[in-house]
Chain A
Amino acid sequence: MVNLKDHLGRPVVAVTGIGVVTSLGVGKADNWAALTSGKSGIHPITRFPTDLLNTRISGMVDYLPSSTKGASALTYELAETAALEAVEEAGFATDDFDGPLFLASPPVELDWRDRFTLYAGDDEGSASERLLKVARSQNSLDMFDTSQFGSIADRLADRFGTRGLPITTSTACASGATAIQLGVEAIRRGECDRALSVGADGSATAEALIRFSLLSALSTNNDVPEKASKPFSKDRDGFVLAEGSAALVLESLESALARGAEVLGILRGCGEKADDFHRTRSKPDGSPAIAAVKAALADAGLAEDEIDYVNAHGTSTPENDKMEHLSLSTVFGERIRKIPVSSNKSMIGHTLSAAGAIEAAFSLMTMREGVIPPTINYDNPDPSIELDVVPNVMRKAEVRTVLSNSFGFGGQNTCLVMAREPV
């Protein structure tokens, strides 16, 4: 008989459905096959011309019908595709989920193509006056929707019949983990038996790329795209902008068992801590990231020596990987050298708002399959980062528990602890 309540007397939260889309493909099966064979989804950018750009590679999702239709349309399709896989696997009606929706998605801004269209619709006055005048005369609900921060969640709520006011969250690169945390907390509070948490990001526009470039955050290793993302390597030079999505159906263990659903894993703990040091840099002593990891372990009721594997944030930026190593070695001490720590981003790039959700999905699959996806492109180890990064080739291993890290701009640190089995 398993415990339906956790160490703090709260409902245990199970995962009963998983969906995922990345540059490697649609669905768990294709992604897992690619991920465990060390395949990279990073490729040259074809969606827009790359003239004058320092970075000309990405992990964009280029094969969906919405891939050329703008950030809003693609983010919706990514979210819908992943959510459909997850809800179907969980065995709920795909138009009547009847639990709350938590969506991590990028902030929206009107696409350039729409700005050009509006601008061309009149020839008098300043640019902003022209846009406003044409906007009100066209009254295009489609264009309007792309400018509303709540639209994607609203459409998803319609599509899947979720309950109540959907929450759209943005905690930068930790957003996907935050969406999961919100779902876990809602179930623990007894507000619902199940929740749909989705992270989706289809916002890799030219402007997004340029913005990150101007912050010197991106790899410029354009010549061999699949080698550009190299977390924990000495010659890492930035992250690779990417797109993707993942969805988890979270459910109280009690509800899952009562309806005979297959339990795919347990969301045991969430921890967070904000950094007050700088907008893009972490506090030099790593204390916020350390506190987030510790908070997640405490929330999960697990000791440091009970984590079998770390799914790293591992962005391949000089700063992140150094800080992540510092925080992990502080929390886990000498033992960190023996814990496998790998970065999915070496293969799929940094999917920003979706990353925390995608990496949670892969963490759950790691435990179920007993296979740890590698950190690829680990040809030139950074000697100051002594980690077992599962270099270049996947590894079979019994993994009972995973820590998944997400650290973002604006001092956002969120960590999730997952387990294979209930206790």
Chain B
Amino acid sequence: MANRDVVITGIGLVSSLGEGGAAHWDKLTTAGTAPVIDAERFQPYAIHPLPEIDWGLQIAKRGDQRQMETWQRLGTYTAGMALDDAGIKGNDELSATMDMVVAAGGGERDEAVDAGVLAASENRTDRDVLINEKLTTELRPTLFLAQLSNLLAGNISIVHKVTGSSRTFMGEEGAGVSAIETAAARIRSGQSTHVLVGGAFQTEHSDMLLGYELAGYLHRGPWKPVWQRQGSEGGGVVTGSGGAFLVLESRDHAEARGQKIYAELGPVLSGRARRRNGGLSANIAELLAKAELPEGELLAISGASGAHAATAAERSALDGNPAIAARALSSLTGHMKEAQFPFAVALAALAVDRGAGYPAFEAGERDFSGQPRNVLATAIGYHQFEGMALVSAPR
């Protein structure tokens, strides 16, 4: 019987804190690391901006870089880091047989063109004709593809030669949950031997903020850490640009090629609570009950967004288990939407691999001083969909 445990062999991370697993580990385990916040550009909203990135490190051709807007470039870059880390980048055979599931958003529109249409609309009643007039002449032909959801995966295929299969899931945090859940299920069933999975989010675009703010989800006023935003002005979410990609592999496949294993990916759980009925906290508790949590104290990397209702529900469910010491990663990175769950799983894997926990990311988070053999990762959507996974030390 083949050993199809799912193991994590590659991690690619980018956030306002920097890039790479090691850099994130160093920053996040240094008590008192301050978040990188830009409170000016998108007032009254604070965001966590991208760090300076030398795109050429992972996307060699400038022509390729030009074919992507920032979000696709960020995802392609982060995916390259994960492939590098797993020793797959540049290995034609492994790349050509590698499957891929990308959690994607999209819609990085041309803000100048849009602003021009809106400005002109003040003096026009024939707005439909105005749209035709402006868009046929001002839209850059290649922009459509450069911001299209499935073209992040498309660019990963082109730049990194991952071509076994290519699937793109959409749906905010839930897409990240489903991507990892599906990738793991494929490996466990023998449908895949190695899978690239992850996502990216580039918040520095007004439409990306609008996607939250149409329902008033963004935090306003002075920045606060995740668990302390209840009752503050606005909806509680502070966004951040970032990406997270993982290489998942069957244990046999990883061992056969002698690849370092960070951690084992245990149960991956997903749900769709009927939140309008107030059932979210109970639903999260149900997922926790199915997560095969070990005895004793447990570190959890929470993807909590800060959104008031969802974050309170998660808090209440986690507080129901006094053994859990949660760390809200968004306090330091901001909310990265589709990348949120892959990011949380990656941080969990790093803790298991390093054999140490993270200090509290904000005051009030429970101490954790043990050597974690298991770490929980959660992503409770700011609006809909929930997921979690248990990451464990390799046996």
Interface, chain A (partner B; CB < 8 A)? 48-53, 105, 107-110, 112, 115-116, 119-120, 126-132, 135-136, 138-141, 143-144, 147-151, 153-154, 157-158, 164-172, 175, 178, 182, 185, 188-189, 191, 206-207, 210-215, 272-280, 288, 408-412
Q: Which residues of B contact A157 (CB under 8 A)?
A: 272
The chain B residue sitting closest to A142, CB to CB, is: B214
Residue B224 interfacial (CB < 8 Å) = no
CA distance A180 to B158 in the complex (A): 25
Q: Residues of A contacting B214 with CB < 8 Å?
A: 110, 135, 138-140, 143-144, 147
- Does B16 touch A at the CB level, under 8 Å? no
| Cross-chain contact of B128 among A49, A108, A144, A167 (Cβ < 8 A) | A49
Once bound together, how far apart are the Cα atoms of A167 and B117, in whole Å? 34
Least CB separation from A410: chain B residue: B154
Please judge, given known A-B contacts A150-B170, A178-B167, A185-B186, whether A110 and B135 are in contact too, CB under 8 Å: no
Give the docked Cα–Cα distance between A168 and B207 (Å). Answer: 21
Across the A-B interface, the 5 shortest Cβ-Cβ residue pairs:
A410-B154, A150-B171, A128-B206, A149-B170, A144-B214
Bound CA span A398–B337, Å: 50
Q: Is B81 an interface residue, CB under 8 A from the partner? A: no
Which segment of B175-183, B293-301, B346-354 sits at the interface?
B175-183
User: Do B213 and A408 have beta carbons less than 8 Å apart?
Assistant: no
Tell me the chain B residues, 325-374 only, with Cβ under 8 Å from chain A: none
Report the bound CA distance from A135 to B67 in whole Å: 31
Stretch binding the partner chain, chosen from B32-40, B51-59, B252-260, B382-390: B382-390
* A215–B128 CA distance with the chains assembled, in angstroms: 21
Q: Which residues from 191 to 245 on chain B have a C-beta closer than 8 Å to any C-beta of chain A?
A: 191, 206-207, 209-211, 213-216, 218, 234
A239 to chain B, nearest CB (A): 15
The residues of A that contact B149 with a CB separation of less than 8 Å are 107, 149, 170
CB neighbours (8 Å) of A110 from chain B are 207, 210, 214
Interface residue ranges of B253-296 to A (CB < 8 Å): 270-272, 274
A residues in contact with B163, CB < 8 Å: 273-276, 288, 411
Q: Contacts A48-B128, A127-B118: A189 and B189 contacting too (C-beta < 8 A)?
A: yes
- Known A139-B215, A408-B150: A164·B129 in contact at CB below 8 Å: no
Q: Tell whether, in the assembled complex, residue B150 and residue A168 are in contact, meaning their CB atoms are under 8 Å apart.
A: no
- In the complex, chain B residues whose CB is within 8 Å of the CB of A408: 150
| Residues of chain A within 8 A of B131, CB atoms compared | 48, 112, 206-207
Decide: A51 and B177 in contact? CB cutoff 8 A.
no
User: Cβ of A149 and Cβ of B175 under 8 Å apart?
Assistant: yes
Q: Tell me whether A169 and B165 are in contact (CB under 8 A).
A: no
- Check B169–A168 contact: CB distance below 8 A: yes
Q: Is the CB of B178 within 8 A of A165?
A: yes
Question: Could you say which residues of chain B place their CB within 8 Å of the CB of A169?
Answer: 167-170
Q: Which residue of the partner chain, among B135, B157, B211, contacts A276 with CB atoms under 8 Å?
A: B157
- Chain B: CB-nearest residue to A173: B150
Q: Complex formed: what's the CA distance from A127 to B154 in Å?
A: 32
Separation in Å of the A188 CB from the closest CB of chain B? 7
Which of B6-14, B102-110, B309-317 lies at the binding interface? B102-110
A119 touches B118 (CB 8 A): yes
A279 touches B206 (CB 8 A): no
Query: Chain A nearest CB: distance from B43 CB in Å?
Result: 8
Looking at the assembled complex, report how far the CB atom of A308 sits from the nearest CB atom of chain B, in whole angstroms: 26
- How near does chain A come to B1, taking the closest CB pair, in angstroms? 14
Nearest-neighbour CB distance to chain A for B47, whole angstroms, equals 12
Chain B residues numbered 57-84 whose CB sits less than 8 Å from any CB in chain A: 67
25 contacts across the A-B interface (CB closer than 8 A): A48-B132, A112-B127, A119-B118, A127-B111, A127-B115, A128-B111, A132-B45, A132-B206, A139-B216, A148-B383, A149-B170, A149-B171, A158-B274, A169-B168, A169-B169, A170-B149, A171-B166, A171-B167, A189-B188, A191-B185, A206-B131, A214-B139, A214-B144, A410-B155, A410-B157
Contacts of B127 in A (CB 8 A): 112, 116
- Between A112, A132, A278, the greatest number of chain B beta carbons within 10 A of the residue's beta carbon is seen for A132
Expressed in whole angstroms, the Cα–Cα distance for A29 and B182 within the complex equals: 36
**Does B151 reach chain A (CB closer than 8 Å)?**
yes
- The answer to the question of B161 belonging to the interface, with a C-beta cut-off of 8 Å to chain A, is yes
Smallest CB gap from B177: residue in A: A165
Not counting A147-B210, A167-B178, A188-B189, a sample of 8 additional A-B residue pairs whose C-beta atoms are within 8 angstroms of each other reads A51-B129, A116-B118, A131-B210, A136-B216, A136-B234, A144-B215, A154-B272, A279-B155
B121 touches A116 (CB 8 A): yes
Give CA–CA (A411, B214) in the complex, Å: 34
Contacts of A135 in B (CB 8 A): 210, 213-214, 216
Nearest CB in chain B: distance from A382 CB, A? 26
Complex interface: chain B residues within 8 A of A50 (CB): 132
Q: Count chain B CB atoms within 10 A of each CB in A128, A129, A212, A213 and give the residue with the most.
A: A128
Closest to B132 in A: A52
> Which of B182, B218, B386 makes the CB contact (< 8 A) with A136?
B218
Bound state CA distance, A48 and B118, in angstroms?
Answer: 18
Q: B164 within 8 Å of A by Cβ?
A: yes
B123 close to A (CB within 8 Å): no
Q: Are A149 and B172 in contact (CB under 8 A)?
A: yes
> Are the C-beta atoms of A147 and B144 separated by less than 8 Å?
no
Task: Report A-chain residues with C-beta under 8 Å of the C-beta of B2.
Answer: none
A85→B272 CA distance, assembly (Å): 24
Contact: A148 with B67, CB < 8 Å? no
Q: Which of B118, B135, B150, B274 has the most CB of A within 10 A?
A: B150
A165 to B379, CA, bound (A): 13
Say whether B148 faces chain A, with CB atoms less than 8 Å apart: yes
Task: Report how far A207 CA is from B214 CA in the complex, Å.
Answer: 21
Q: CB of B307 within 8 A of chain A?
A: no
Contact B154 A409 (CB under 8 A): yes
Contact between B210 and A172, CB atoms less than 8 A apart: no
For the complex, give the distance between the alpha carbons of A182 and B118 in Å. Answer: 41
Indicate the member of A158, A189, A272, A276 with the most B CB atoms within 10 Å: A276
